[in-house]
A and B are shown apart, each in its own frame.
Chain A
Amino acid sequence: GQNIDQPTEMTATEGAIVQINCTYQTSGFNGLFWYQQHAGEAPTFLSYNVLDGLEEKGRFSSFLSRSKGYSYLLLKELQMKDSASYLCAVVEGNYQLIWGAGTKLIIKP
């Protein structure tokens, strides 16, 4: 069946680095998205991976291993504004998007 797993909550310190993992089991694979969602707001796009490897975009990077069904989002130089939920979503074989429950990231000074 379809399954996407992310940690429910993580805590990190301002200025540090944090890695949020996502593992998936889906019917086919056509890419993986990471979104950021601040409390009470809509999700916003962060990254998209369809090939294995690391995609870097400023302080945020996303990694994909299709053979392992695994991705991570790496956030560097953490800022207080990075406190949010981070959602992993997989594009299945039929091009439907399956969403993980999200990881709530708490940044402490």
Chain B
Amino acid sequence: IAGITQAPTSQILAAGRRMTLRCTQDMRHNAMYWYRQDLGLGLRLIHYSNTAGTTGKGEVPDGYSVSRANTDDFPLTLASAVPSQTSVYFCASSADSNNEQFFGPGTRLTVL
């Protein structure tokens, strides 16, 4: 692994289903983030983690949950997907909360 990876690359999901988006980084970064990007709205922060074992809510946290059991992994879970969660999801990491963020390649999620 080099940098930050996300899985899956894309997914079509039926409404009401549970889904976990995976994110892994090998840079030993303390901080990690989940964003959604919708046309015309820019990046919006869903949840973040400043260090392993802690998480916080961003601008649009409803319907999403995260965990940070270790430094490398930061999964995002949609407990019961709804069509408004159709978006491109980016995971990012940074050495600390005030540093440059490195982004994963993104997951394109469609909820029908």
Contact = CB atoms under 8 A, between A and B. Distances in A.
A99 B43 contact: yes
B97 A95 contact: yes
Contacts, number: 42
Contacts of A101: 40-42
B44 interface: yes
Nearest to B108: A40
How big is the B interface, by class?
20 to 34
A45 B100 contact: yes
A102 B58 CA distance: 19
Q: Looking at B35, B90, B100, which has the most chain A CB atoms within 10 Å of its CB?
A: B100
Interface residues of A, number: 20
B43 A30 contact: no
Nearest to A94: B97
Contacts of B90: 42-43
Q: Looking at B42, B44, B97, B102, which has the most chain A CB atoms within 10 Å of its CB?
A: B42
B42 A87 contact: yes
Given A43-B43, A99-B43, A31 B100 contact: no
Interface of A: 8, 30-31, 33, 41-45, 48, 87, 89, 91, 95-97, 99-102
